[in-house]
Amino acid sequence: MNKENFMDYKLSKEIVRALDNLGYKHPTDVQSAVIPIALEKKDIAVKAQTGSGKTAAFGIPICEMVDWEENKPQALILTPTRELADQVKEDITNIGRFKRIKATAVYGKDSFSKQKAELKQKTHVVVGTPGRLLDHMDRGTLDLERLRFLVIDEADEMLKMGFIDQVEAIIHELPMDRMTMLFSATLPEDVVNLCHKYMENPTDIEVQATENTTHQIDHSLFIVKEKDKFNLLKDATIIENPDSCIVFCRTKEQVDNLYKLLDQFGYTCNKIHGGMEQSDRSYVMDQFKRGKFRYLVATDVAARGIDIENITHVVNYDIPLEKESYVHRIGRTGRAGKTGKAITFVTPYEEKFLEDIERFIGFEISRRSIPTKEEVANRKAAFDKKMKVQPTIKKEKSEQLNKGILKLYFNGGKKKKIRAVDFVGTIAKIEGVTADDIGIITIQDNVSYVDILNGKGSLVLHAMKNTTIKGKQLKVHEAIKKHR
């Protein structure tokens, strides 16, 4: 963090207000390095970890620079995982809330036709995984003719997952006259090549990862035989008694098994891995974010980019085989100035992976001795007590922002030839309401949703019951929860 202020960047009042509501008082290091250059529309290659505030580093200038009037997508953000795509979409929506920026996330294992319908509407920013984005491009359901901004997020991970051909195929279809930003936690050769090939004299920015990897996080490890791991996990969790913990395993089978065991032993837990349906994965992440359970058993799917507040502990039940993975996994804790603990289980055969990791992070992880029976017994009562208590439900970041916002449903949309400007024109004429009180507008074939801001929702709802739009009287009521 530094002492600069978001006001220093000539951002519009709608963006500054959203940042203020999100509780972002000062830009983080990566934000103060990136935002001024991005606002000049220069290409940028950034080495930064998740947790550094990198999403807002590209999200803020993009929200500032997109033109609300334009209906076709102007910004494309490529992410390696679906979870990250959802997360980035949410962050962009939060930052662009008062400018009514519409962001859409597209990724595989989710309904193509639903995404197609969303992409047909006004969309300023599209966030997605490469495979599904290409599908949309091939089938003509994603028009990129007006694209002006490209972000390649977590580039190293994207390439590691084998997306290079798809990423290049997408880039080839984009207008040349665009600005490109690339973010990567590490800069292996293929990422550097990507920058040279597709960016114009990019400004290189490197943000030290120290905050994330060393200062805020207490790293330790146990040397343990494979067969003793579960007992150690039980003992270690009793000793540590975490409020909120992710337990990482190498494979989905291991996640399934460990989850079953923890559940049997009464842990409030759930699991996430790539073999699960997307809707189940999203549900689990949402529940975990809200603090509905304390232990999440996960494969690396959950390790990248996911922004969950207040995770106190990360346990590497299986040591990651790739050194970068260690940094990404433990990056789930110690976020945004909080402290956290990272505990790694290492079997005697895995010491070579440990050496790699220690070389990569630049320090030795402290070895712990296996807890004694007595230590465990002493802490058991406190552990049992916490287990019986439902975790405090955490507020969604957007909840504060959503205060004073009412989403209205209207039973008419495209088929009745209604456009966003018709809503703005009609609603802004209601006495006591201005265009600034209108938030995101979503128009579908037969229905529309309009966010009304600043606590003016019921006033607008009441007025619209007797006001026509384009000469038509639509039914209007508060939108049901799932559309919010």
Q: Which residues bind ligand AMP (CB under 6 A)?
A: 24, 27-28, 31, 50-56, 307, 335-336
Residue among 228, 119, 107, 211 nearest 161 (CA): 107
In degrees and rounded to multiples of 5, residue 290 shows phi and psi of -85, 0
Cα–Cα distance, 333 to 318 (Å, whole number)? 17
Cα–Cα distance, 369 to 305 (Å, whole number)? 32
- Strands (E) across 107-211 are located at 125-128, 149-152, 179-184, 203-206
Please check whether residue 74 is in contact with residue 378, taking contact to mean a CB–CB distance below 8 angstroms. Answer: no
Cα–Cα distance, 310 to 184 (Å, whole number)? 24
Cα–Cα distance, 321 to 112 (Å, whole number)? 34
Cα–Cα distance, 340 to 242 (Å, whole number)? 10
User: CB of residue 368 vs ligand AMP: minimum separation in angstroms?
Assistant: 29
Burial class from Cβ neighbours inside 10 Å (0-12, 13-18, 19+) for residue 420 reads buried
Q: Which residues, 6+ apart, have CB-to-CB distance to 359 below 8 Å?
A: 323
Question: What is the 8-class DSSP label of residue 370?
Answer: P
Cα–Cα distance, 195 to 155 (Å, whole number)? 10
**DSSP-assigned letters across all residues of 147-165:** --EEEETTHHHHHHTT-HH
Count of CB atoms within 10 A of residue 173's CB? 14
Structure tokens at 394: 């955490």
Containing H/E element for 171? helix 164-172
Instruction: Considering the complex, state which of residue 76 and residue 408 has its C-beta at the smaller distance from ligand AMP.
Output: 76
